[in-house]
Amino acid sequence: MQKLFAAFTFAFIAVTPVWAATQTVTLSVPDMSCPACPITVKKALSKVEGVGKINVSLEKREAVVAFDDKKTSVSKLTEATEMAGYPSSLKQ
């Protein structure tokens, strides 16, 4: 039974290589001040190649971004928000 499960898990990983490279990071975006800001930040991040799901919170002043680490990096993400007028940094 356990052997069967292991085989299944391996098959699942083998057919979904994209997901294996997906990382999720939280960026601190302190300059967001009104409801329009998250829209601008989200738009800027969505233009970066390899970016998947984006969740921007005005209340928390942060952006949770899922991205393919083979196509982009955290520095490209922070660069994109900075170009849009919102400097950001990786939240630990």
**Residue ranges that bind Cu ion, judged by CB under 5 A:** 34, 36-37
| Least CB distance to Cu ion at residue 79 (A) | 20
Neighbours of 27 (CB within 10 A): 23
| Least CB distance to Cu ion at residue 37 (A) | 3
- Specify the residue, 41 or 50, whose C-beta has the smaller distance to Cu ion: 41
- Specify the residue, 11 or 83, whose C-beta has the smaller distance to Cu ion: 83
- Specify the residue, 61 or 65, whose C-beta has the smaller distance to Cu ion: 61
**Tokens standing for 25?**
């990071």
| Least CB distance to Cu ion at residue 51 (A) | 21
**Tokens standing for 51?**
């970016």
